[in-house]
Structure 1
Amino acid sequence: MTLNLTSRTLAQEDLDSICAFVRDAEEVFLVSPKFHYPLTAEQILKVLENRYSPTVIVSGDAPEPLAYANLYDKDEESDTIWLGNVIVSPSYRGTGVAAYLIQTMMDTAKQEHGVRTMKLYCHNTNTRALLFYCKQGFNPCGYKVLVKPDGEKLVGIAMQKEL
């Protein structure tokens, strides 16, 4: 499948499609421990109050989003910004869309926000994503303990990449 990928700013009409990317409570927790299932437009908009550069990836002239992410917690002192709420349509996982999204977000962080380092958290149970981020050049640099709604603990592995 050849995709002509481009990025653009999140639009209100994208929200329902993005919410539909999340198939269950486990996936919504992977996107953000602050979200709950089912993911709603209101949850995304609430988080965006403290976020930067909400970005969607589309293919060709089709308006439907294939992937979404945003940035947060820009730190001027350390020249760092965090990548958040990464979510890819189930139909486009494994097609290169996620790699394009991450590269777009790194470019945005460097060019628009002037930072030198991007960080992210990836849950220890999300092996596929951990391997993906390592392939994109991110390295583990710390962790935090997260508690799922059912009380189960897991580790959010902090990862970083110099831009």
Structure 2
Amino acid sequence: MYTHRNLEHMDLEVICTFPQAADELVYISPKFQYPLTPDQILALLKDRFEPTVILDRAADEVVAYANIYGYDAEARTCWLGNVVVSPQYRGRGASQFLLDVMLNKAKSVLGAETIRLACHNTNSRGLAFYVKYGFKPYDIHITEQAERKLIAIHMSKQLV
């Protein structure tokens, strides 16, 4: 049902339609401003690895996106970032496929043994999904944005 490939410039406009509100966009990146634009995605790509899209084979359309950042060769760790799935494909296996692809890339392409991510405390659906996938919380990070506190729960998973 799904396949994957590297991000192409033509994918950016479609990905920008996935976040449905400003609060949802914060889950993807607190650095983004709503509405999401291709330029915002491109600006973050400077420090990212393996920008990947998931496609629905039958519809031949982009349905999910993620990348990897913060790779530390010595510690053999990296971070999963900018995870977003089209609203029409949530709960239909696209997120599982995306996560499988990204975990495989972290391990096989980068040689990472541990992958980490940050999931906001208000994203209960995301937190439940990551715990189900074997990610374990290990820290929290509190920041202020627009006079409100954002709490990101840091989670990790061993890839070996």
The TM-score, its normalising length taken from structure 2, stands at: 0.97
- Indicate the percent of aligned positions where both proteins have the same amino acid: 47
Residue 136 (1) aligns with residue 133 (2): yes
Counterpart contact for 1:32–1:85, Cα < 8 Å = yes
Counterpart contact for 1:69–1:85, Cα < 8 Å = yes
| SS of equivalent residue, structure 2 residue 127 | helix
Mapping of residues 68-147 of structure 1, within 5 Å:
68-147=65-144
Please give the per-residue CA displacement for 1:113-155, whole angstroms capped at 9, x wherever unaligned. 001000000001111100000011100011111223x211021
Residue 46 (1) aligns with residue 43 (2): yes
Query: C-alpha separation between the residues in 1 aligned to 2:50 and 2:155?
Result: 20
1:61 CA displacement: 5.2
| Residue ranges of structure 1 left out of the alignment (5+ in a row) | none
Which of 145, 151, 160 is residue 156 of structure 2 equivalent to?
160
Mapping of residues 13-24 of structure 1, within 5 Å:
13-24=10-21
Query: C-alpha separation between the residues in 1 aligned to 2:59 and 2:52?
Result: 16
Query: C-alpha separation between the residues in 2 aligned to 1:41 and 1:64?
Result: 17
Question: RMSD of the TM alignment (CA)?
Answer: 0.9
| SS of equivalent residue, structure 2 residue 103 | helix
The TM-score, its normalising length taken from structure 1, stands at: 0.95
Please give the per-residue CA displacement for 1:91-124, whole angstroms capped at 9, x wherever unaligned. 0001111011011000000000001000000001
| SS of equivalent residue, structure 2 residue 46 | helix
Please list every run of at least 4 consecutive aligned residues from structure 1 whose deviation after the TM superposition is greater than 6 angstroms: none
State the partner residue of 1:59: 56
1:5 CA displacement: 0.7
| SS of equivalent residue, structure 1 residue 66 | strand
| Residue ranges of structure 2 left out of the alignment (5+ in a row) | none
Query: C-alpha separation between the residues in 2 aligned to 1:63 and 1:75?
Result: 35
1:42 CA displacement: 0.2
